[in-house]
């Protein structure tokens, strides 16, 4: 990671360099900004507003340097649209523009930009301001990671699961859409730990989390470590038949994958499924009831011999 250590505190840098998106329709301006940051950052370029929005959604840059005068939608509108979408709201925007009037700066900041720089740029000043806002952005990312992600397996944690279940429950009632839960518990995991040690147990937990991540792929779905060797998944807008199929696939994949990795010690899981139908009324119950139902189905799967699902 050449140079980035001097530019940003090393504890904030992940495996990849921070990613900047430069949006400007004038090649000389793009070149000037590219030269300032190419050593420390991965630099993406867009020359109009629509492609800037598409790149932000797809690549999730850590910061956007945004011109105002652009072909098609202007920079203000780009900034507003970034702010209006949950996936891009967290990306800081700095306007870099030839407009040096207070009106433009007021409008830019009220659209949600974090800073406003007037062209022609002064490289050291742009670098310093970008460093400040990138640091804040990466600190925020790190904090969210620590608060919402399970350190051992890399899937979300219980805190995140609880918040999302609460939110998705509300949304599913309002929109009259189905909402499903999967509870997944590793079978005889105490025995596995006793026989092979806790480090192998931790490794197996990571493998099972990876299977869940591969099976459950929609961006609205949540996979979380719910407790020790128990995982929980929220699946918005999923019909019961599809969720049962998914549960069955998880049961099979865990058994197969763990058997491939260690033929002498395959693991199995038991799965409990609960679904709130689309036409469910609030008086019919709460998301705690749905959780309790998934949990009781999980226990039924255990009682039914493990390595299976109930729903
Ligand atoms: P069952 O099939 O009924 O679920 O049996 P089980 O042995 O899986 O269930 P039990 O609740 O008796 O034991 C769960 C075990 O999971 C006990 C604990 O040592 C292990 N475990 C929980 N968290 C971790 C962890 O972070 N790492 C490791 N290695 N083991 C863990
Ligand atoms: Mg322009
Ligand atoms: Mg278990
Ligand atoms: Mg358990």
pLDDT tens across the length of the chain (311 residues): 444 557 998 888 887 899 999 999 999 999 999 999 999 999 999 999 999 999 999 999 999 999 999 999 999 999 999 999 999 999 999 999 999 999 999 999 999 999 999 999 999 999 999 999 999 999 999 999 999 999 999 999 999 999 999 999 999 999 999 999 999 999 999 999 999 999 999 999 999 999 999 999 998 999 999 999 999 999 999 999 999 999 999 999 999 999 999 999 999 999 999 999 999 888 889 999 999 999 999 999 999 999 999 99
Which atom number of ligand 1 is nearest to the Cα of residue 201?
Answer: 29
Long-range contacts, 33-39 (Cβ 8 Å, 24+): 33/65, 33/96, 33/121, 33/126, 35/123, 36/121, 36/123, 36/126, 36/127, 37/127, 37/130, 39/2, 39/3, 39/7
Tokens for 155, please give them: 């899937």
Residue 5 has a pLDDT of: 58
Give exposure, 287-303, as e/b (b: 16+ Cβ within 10 Å).
Answer: beebbebbbebbeebbe
Ligand of minimum distance to the alpha carbon of 200:
1
Residue 136, judged by CB atoms within 10 A of its CB (0-12, 13-18, 19+), counts as middle
How remote is the CA of residue 125 from the centroid of ligand 2, in Å? 20
Q: Which residues line ligand 1 (CB under 6 A)?
A: 152, 185-191, 193, 198, 201-202, 205, 228-229, 302, 306
Q: Which of 158, 183, 190 is the pocket-test mutation for ligand 1 (most atoms within 8 Å of CB)? A: 190
Nearest to 271 by CA among 230, 310, 303: 310
How remote is the CA of residue 30 from the centroid of ligand 3, in Å? 56
Which atom number of ligand 1 is nearest to the Cα of residue 190?
Answer: 7
Cβ-contact 267, 204 below 8 angstroms: yes
Task: Tell me which residues are annotated as active site.
Answer: 229
Atom 14 (ligand 1) nearest CA: 190
Atom 18 (ligand 1) nearest CA: 190
Atom 27 (ligand 1) nearest CA: 202
Residues with CB under 5 A from ligand 2 (ion): 25, 67, 69
Cβ-contact 77, 37 below 8 angstroms: no
User: What would you measure as the largest C-alpha separation in the chain, in angstroms?
Assistant: 73
Residue 232, judged by CB atoms within 10 A of its CB (0-12, 13-18, 19+), counts as buried
Nearest to 66 by CA among 102, 99, 18: 99
ipTM: 0.97
Nearest to 92 by CA among 54, 146, 56: 56
Question: In which element (H, E) is residue 259 found?
Answer: helix 240-261
Q: How far apart are CA 293 and CA 23, in angstroms?
A: 50
Q: Which of 194, 228, 266 is the pocket-test mutation for ligand 1 (most atoms within 8 Å of CB)? A: 228
């Amino acid at each position: 990671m050449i140079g980035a250590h001097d530019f940003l505190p090393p504890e904030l840098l992940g495996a990849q360099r921070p990613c900047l998106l430069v949006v400007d329709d004038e090649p000389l301006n793009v070149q000037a900004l590219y030269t300032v940051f190419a050593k420390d950052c991965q630099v993406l370029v867009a020359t109009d507003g629509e492609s800037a929005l598409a790149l932000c959604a797809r690549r999730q840059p850590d910061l956007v340097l945004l011109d105002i005068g652009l072909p098609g939608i202007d920079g203000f509108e780009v900034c507003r649209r970034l702010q209006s979408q949950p996936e891009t709201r967290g990306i800081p925007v700095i306007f870099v523009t030839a407009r040096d009037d207070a009106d433009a700066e007021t409008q830019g900041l009220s659209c949600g930009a974090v800073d406003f720089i007037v062209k022609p740029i002064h490289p050291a000043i742009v670098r310093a301001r970008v460093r400040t806002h990138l640091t804040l952005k990466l600190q925020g990312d790190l904090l969210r990671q620590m608060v919402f992600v399970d350190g051992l397996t890399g899937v979300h944690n219980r805190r995140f699961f609880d918040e999302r279940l609460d939110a998705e429950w509300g949304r599913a009632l309002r929109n009259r859409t189905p909402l499903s839960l999967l509870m997944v518990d590793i079978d005889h995991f105490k025995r596995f730990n006793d026989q092979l040690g806790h480090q192998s147990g931790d490794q197996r937990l990571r493998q099972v989390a990876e299977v869940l991540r591969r099976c459950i792929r929609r961006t609205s779905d949540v996979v979380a470590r719910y407790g020790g060797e128990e995982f929980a998944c929220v699946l918005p807008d999923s019909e019961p038949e599809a969720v049962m199929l998914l549960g069955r696939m998880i049961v099979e994949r865990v058994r197969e994958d763990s058997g491939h990795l260690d033929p002498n010690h395959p693991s199995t899981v038991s799965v409990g499924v609960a679904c709130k139908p689309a036409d469910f009324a609030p008086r019919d119950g709460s998301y705690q009831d749905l959780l309790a139902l998934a949990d009781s189905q999980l226990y039924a799967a255990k009682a039914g011999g493990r390595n299976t699902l109930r729903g």
